[in-house]
Amino acid sequence: MTKVFTAVAVGSLWLVSLAPAHAQKPGGDPASKAIKNPVPATAASIAAGKAAYAKRCSHCHGASGAGDGRFAPKDPSPPDLTDAKWDRGSGEADIFLVIWNGPSEDGKMRPLKGTVAEKEVWNIVNYVRSLSQKAGAP
């Protein structure tokens, strides 16, 4: 039993060590240009994204996406998703990769990869894009 526990612990540490290598870097990922959103930004997708956002994102990013959620860390604070400044790329694929893989090495935003279906993340992308478009951002 001890060998199994040790193997699981070592394997888990190895997987955690890989996370920073897959985090989205500032400026976006050039490879993201080849990724297309497979979920059309319909009213149904945006509504599903809003529900998923409320459940998974609003506690830090805030109900309106302004980065003022109740549990938002202070340094650095979550970005305002409604403005025109997108440090890690503003394309749909860039947004997807940030949500899917996590945005940075600091681990303050956990990646959703392995916890939800990709379609749910694309719905969140569609919702987040609708927030920024309402505010006049790209």
Interval 45-69: pLDDT, tens:
999 999 999 999 999 999 999 999 9
CB 47 within 8 A of CB 108: no
Residues 6-48 pLDDT 10s: 333 333 333 333 334 444 556 566 777 889 999 999 999 999 9
107-134: burial string, b at 16+ Cβ within 10 Å, e else = eebebbeeebeeebbbbbbbbbbbbbee
Per DSSP, helices labelled H in the chain are 2-18, 43-56, 58-61, 92-101, 118-134
At 86, is the pLDDT very low, low, confident or very high (cuts 50, 70, 90)? confident
Instruction: Decide which of 15 and 119 is more confident.
Output: 119
* Domains of the chain and any CATH numbers: 2-134 (1.10.760.10)
The pTM (predicted TM-score) of the whole model is 0.75
> What integer best gives the mean pLDDT of the chain?
79
**CA-closest candidate to residue 91, choices 134, 35, 18, 49:** 35
Phi, psi of 116 (to 5 degrees): -140, 165
Instruction: Decide which of 6 and 105 is more confident.
Output: 105
